[in-house]
Amino acid sequence: MPTGKNGEQPAATSDTWLGKLGPGLITGAADDDPSGIATYSQAGAQFGFGMLWTVCLTFPLMLGIQVISAKIGRVSGHGLATNIRRHYPRSLLYAIVGLLLLANVINIAADVAAMGDALTLIIGGPPHLYAVGFGLLSLLLQVFIPYQKYVRILKWLTLGLLAYVATVLTVHIPWGEVALRTVWPQLAWSAASVTMIVAVFGTTISPYLFFWQASQEVEDLQADSSAQALRRTPEQAPRQFQRIKMDTAIGMGFSNLVAFFIMLTTAVTLGAQGITHIDTSAQAASALRPIAGEFAFALFSLGIIGTGLLAIPVLAGSAAYAMAGAFHWKSSLELAPRAAKKFYGIIVTSTVIGAALCFTPLDPIKALYWSAVINGVISVPIMALMMVMASRPAIMGSLTISRRLRALGWLSTVVMATAVLAMFATMAF
């Protein structure tokens, strides 16, 4: 059992309803990071209600693949990178982890920049310095607060997403038309609409979420002195699988509901006023100000900051878990930094580089675009590997995934592969 950052033994997982929520809730909420908010805002502003249906489709696909990643972690007792290292060629592992690290650093840069811009909109001041401050704050929290306490902070930060639910209440919504267009969209198929569909899928189903949720299941496993990897204690599986299903369903449902509301808000405000080009989440917040009023603007802006504080540790942490698994390093947010120097070194390096990129001529919009391309490219082989791993007794023992979950997981993989092919097709023309 690892010793905590302050020398204490980590506590077991709570049996309360809220205590059972963790990896799935945090993973889902982290998906609505500032870069994701920008994508959803652009979808609503440019296509109105025409993209709302995508959220209804991404929810079950996202739910299926995230449940599979969680089960791999809980059943095997290892994160995704460790399982890939133990069972597949190193060349494949290094390529996946290297691209994941690159994409995550770019995403961190875009997110801290958006948070700095959002705070500048609210109180004025230098956005670059605010961005660095947010990066350092996130870094200090990850390094110096024990995992079990930090998880509670992350859970509270998920409430920041409620800002986007509240924003909807500040504007007029034609709910009848919204319901109709969600199930029966009117969308002109074009290169722009296909590109936006791909962007929504790429933003919603992201590789760093797979690595994070599997690793958090391992963290929770290590934090409970009465628990072992489920392949060794299959009698615990029904209870744990029920928890994983509930936790992930709530997390992914929350994530997709917020994405829906962001699209809806920008559709009825920005899109209705002819503002159809949104590059950043801060730009979306600024454009809301004269249309929806100060309250909606403030809620939207504060939501950017809250979701960024939640997303940055997930991005940096998932990169660190992946690198640690690839090279067999000690890896736990419960360990003191001196006991897992290389693991924390990746967290520090990726966060610092991400914040430092705010001071370079790097175009955050182009950076996000290429980050999305990288995420899209590596998501397909990672998802395919996850499906194979989750079906292998050598990894899962007697607890391989069910036929229904296997079908949903492969459907998600095929849809994502189709989206990536469509992305490359639109880039070629």
> If phi over 0 gives left and psi between -120 and 50 gives alpha, with beta otherwise, what is residue 229?
beta
Q: pLDDT-based confidence at 147, cuts 50/70/90?
A: low
Range of the domain at 127: 41-428
pLDDT confidence of residue 334 = 81
Q: Which residues make Cβ contacts (< 8 Å) with residue 393, sequence separation at least 6?
A: 400
- 3-state DSSP helix/strand/coil percent for the chain, to nearest 5? 80, 0, 20
Residue with the larger pLDDT of the pair 171 and 52: 52
Q: How confident is the model at residue 12 (pLDDT cuts 50, 70, 90)?
A: very low
- 207 found inside a domain: yes
The Cα 292–Cα 172 span in angstroms is 9
Let me know: does 111 contact 308? Beta carbons within 8 Å: yes
Average pLDDT over residues 304-326: 91
pLDDT at 292: 73
Q: Is residue 33 part of a domain?
A: no
pLDDT in tens, 110-123: 889 889 998 999 89
Contact, 18 vs 151, CB < 8 A? no
Q: Is residue 93 part of a domain?
A: yes
Report how far residue 164's alpha carbon sits from residue 161's, in angstroms, rounded to the nearest whole number: 6
Sign of the alpha-carbon torsion through 162, 248, 200, 110: positive
**Residues 95-109: pLDDT tens digits?**
999 999 998 999 899
| Structure-block tokens of residue 228 | 């072992």
Q: Is the confidence at residue 20, as pLDDT, over 70?
A: no
Tell me the CA distances in angstroms from 58 to 198, 223, 256, one per residue in order: 11, 32, 8
Which of 226-230, 328-332, 361-365, 418-422 has maximum average pLDDT? 328-332
The average pLDDT across 231-247 equals: 93
Decide if 163 is inside a domain.
yes
On whether the CB atoms of residues 28 and 254 are closer than 8 A, the answer is: yes
Query: Residue 115: which CATH number?
Result: 1.20.1740.10
Q: Mean pLDDT of all residues in the chain?
A: 86
Mean pLDDT for 17-46 is 79
pLDDT at 219 over 80: yes
Does residue 389 lie in a domain region? yes
Establish if 278 belongs to a structural domain: yes
What number is the average pLDDT over the span 245-274?
89
294 or 426, which is more confident? 294
Give CA–CA dist 318/33, Å, rounded. Answer: 15
Nearest to 101 by CA among 425, 339, 347: 347
**Interval 191-218 mean pLDDT:** 88
Which residue do the tokens 């995420």 mark?
375
Domain count, the chain: 1
16 lies in some domain: no
Residue type, 91: S
User: Considering only 229-238, 288-297, 351-360, 361-370, which range has the smallest mean pLDDT?
Assistant: 361-370
| Contact predicate 340/349, CB 8 Å | no
Quote the Cα angle for 262-102-339, to 5°. Answer: 105
pLDDT of the residue at 270: 84
Quick one: pLDDT at residue 8? 47
Q: What is the per-residue pLDDT for 152?
A: 73
- Mean pLDDT of all residues in 155-176: 78
Residue 9 lies in a domain: no
Does the pLDDT at position 237 exceed 90? yes
